[in-house]
Structure formats: structure tokens, C-alpha cells
Amino acid sequence: MTAFVSALAEVDGPRCGLRNATRDLLLASLVDVLSTAGTRERTAGDFEPGRARVVVPARLVHTLRAPFPIDVVFVDAQGWVVRAHRVLVPWRVVWHPRAVAVVELPAGTLERTGTVTGDRLIVETLVPGP
């Protein structure tokens, strides 16, 4: 199992975040791991800022029937961004042959954080605030 996928296996919803380690910026403070067709179908729809959906395993993502654009990041086995798409509009299909996971984020997240191909993403446990 790869390092990035192993970290995803331990994700615990509200206590896990997704960080751009290259820029030391939090991309999401709530991570939904979609590892089965059932979880992928149940989570279709809009999601709020600060939330990420990580589809694993995956090399392809589509926005067919999606009512809104999203940001998409393809990640390799070590968490390196191998391709990043800002504001992927509905009715598009994109893929990358080296990806092991696809991160879906609210549109505008990649621009706001400056996340680009070559950055490294990590899954981290977040400490609850007071």
C-alpha cells in the first residue's frame, strides 16, 4: 500500500485534514474518503469550503451531471500532485495515468492556496480547538 493511501485509510472525518505540505497550507479541514461505488454515489452534490472528497483508487474523474464546477487534483502514490485542474466545469472528463487518488475540492481552492502540479499533499490529524 502506498504512503498516501495508507494515510487515507486512517482518516476519521472531522479530525483529519488535507494539507499542501509544499506551501504549508490547509486545503481542507474535513476529508471524506470515497473508496466504494456506494460512497461515491451518496456524496454526489455540492459541498462547502473546507471540505475535500478523496476518491481512491482513481485515475479518472468526471463532472457529468454535476451542477457546479470543482477543483480537481490527481495525486501519485507518495502524495505528489501530478496534475491539477482549477474550476473543472460540468460535463468534462479528465485523467492521469500515474494517479492513485483524485482529490475533489470546492472551486477556487487551488487558486486561493496556490496549489499546483509538483506540490505534495499530506493527510494529517487535526487537534480540536478549545
Cα–Cα dist 45/90, whole Å: 12
Question: Which among 5-9, 16-20, 64-68 has the top mean pLDDT?
Answer: 16-20
Question: Chain-wide mean pLDDT for the chain?
Answer: 87
Instruction: Calculate what percentage of the chain has a pLDDT beyond 70.
Output: 84
CA dist 18 → 64, 91, 108, 126 (Å): 25, 26, 16, 10
More confident residue, 48 or 18: 18
We find that the CATH architecture of domain 3-125 is Sandwich (2.60)
pLDDT tens sequence across 62-111: 988 888 999 999 999 999 999 999 999 999 999 999 999 999 999 999 99
- Please state whether 17 falls in left (phi above 0), alpha (psi between -120 and 50) or beta: beta
Cα–Cα dist 55/4, whole Å: 12
Q: In which band, very low, low, confident or very high, does the pLDDT at 129 lie, cut at 50, 70 and 90?
A: low
Instruction: Calculate what percentage of the chain has a pLDDT beyond 90.
Output: 62
Cα–Cα dist 60/113, whole Å: 23
Looking at residue 16, what is its pLDDT?
84
Query: CA-based angle 75:79:84, to the nearest 5?
Result: 35
Q: How much is the pTM? A: 0.88
Q: In which band, very low, low, confident or very high, does the pLDDT at 43 lie, cut at 50, 70 and 90?
A: very low
Buried b (16+ CB within 10 A) or exposed e, 87-121: ebeeeeeeebeebbbbbbbbbebbeebebeeebbb
